[in-house]
Amino acid sequence: MTAQATNAAEGARTYHLAEGEDHDHAGGNGATLLGFWIYLMSDALIFAALFATFGVLNSSYAGGPVPRELFELPLVALNTALLLTSSITFGFGMLEMEAGRVSGTRSWLLVTALFGAAFLGVEIYEFSSLIAEGATPQRSAFLSAFFTLVGTHGMHVFFGLIWIGTLLVQIGQRGLGLENKRRLMCLSMFWHFLDIIWIGVFTFVYLFGVLR
């Protein structure tokens, strides 16, 4: 009876410890996601300020070139398609994560990174072409606001690519544990957030600028 009671007590203790660990993981996951939502909201405020600044300065050309003379809509449309496609491939990666397939998750993350890098490459090409034509940030308030807004978004994509690369290594080393899944969920929110911001940039900066 004593041995049985001891085994029962040990079993109960093990159960409670495991249950406590599950609660800790769940609580940590919720706290992390909440904290990341707060970060995204603060980032959204930064972009809101940049959009507002651009809205005020978007007609301050100072005798310099105007949007329809600078922007190539087909190139910008291609870049938009690259970023939106990367969001779709990231979604496939999340489906692979939910299924517990490490290789599939890493493959789709790599494809997402390639699309993101292509987007960034096109943006760098656009910036270098504008600067070569003399359309630098110092040329007018409009160009200053343009380079600041679009460049800030580009920097976010750059850091997102670094984040993807880091997760590719971590998933390869540790698999799809709770921590890596939580990181993937945060990165997913960040990447889709960048897509939403870019749709605003494409519409209000490029499209309205050329059509105005």
What are the extents of the domains in the chain? 38-211
Q: Is pLDDT above 70 for 2?
A: no
Q: Is pLDDT above 60 for 22?
A: no
Place of tokens 């990174």: 113
pLDDT on residue 28: 55
Question: Do the Cβ atoms of 194 and 154 come closer than 8 Å?
Answer: no
Query: What is the C-alpha to C-alpha distance for residues 86 and 117, in angstroms, rounded to an integer?
Result: 10
Cβ neighbours around 184 below 10 Å, total:
22
Band (pLDDT 50/70/90 cuts) for residue 99 is very high
Fold of domain 38-211: Four Helix Bundle (Hemerythrin (Met), subunit A) (1.20.120)
Residue 185: Cβ-neighbour burial (10 angstroms; 0-12, 13-18, 19+): middle
pTM of the model: 0.85
Q: What's the residue count for the chain? A: 212
Token output for 163: 């984040």
* pLDDT, average across residues 10-38: 57
Q: Is pLDDT above 90 for 93?
A: yes
- Mean pLDDT over the full length of the chain: 89
Alpha helices in 58-140 (DSSP H): 67-70, 73-98, 102-132
Determine if residue 140 is left, alpha or beta; phi over 0 gives left, psi from -120 to 50 gives alpha, anything else beta: beta
The CA radius of gyration of the chain, in Å to the nearest whole number, is: 23
Q: 87-120 b/e with 16+ CB inside 10 Å = b?
A: bebbebbbebbeeeeeeebbbbbebbbebbbbbb
Q: In this predicted model, what pLDDT tens digit does every residue of 152-165 receive, in sequence order? A: 999 999 999 999 99
- Least confident residue range of 5-14, 134-143, 177-186: 5-14
Band (pLDDT 50/70/90 cuts) for residue 212 is confident
Place of tokens 């993101």: 116
* pLDDT, average across residues 66-78: 95
Band (pLDDT 50/70/90 cuts) for residue 3 is very low
Closest CA to 147 of 48, 41, 57, 40: 57
At residue 90, φ and ψ (nearest 5 deg) are -65, -40
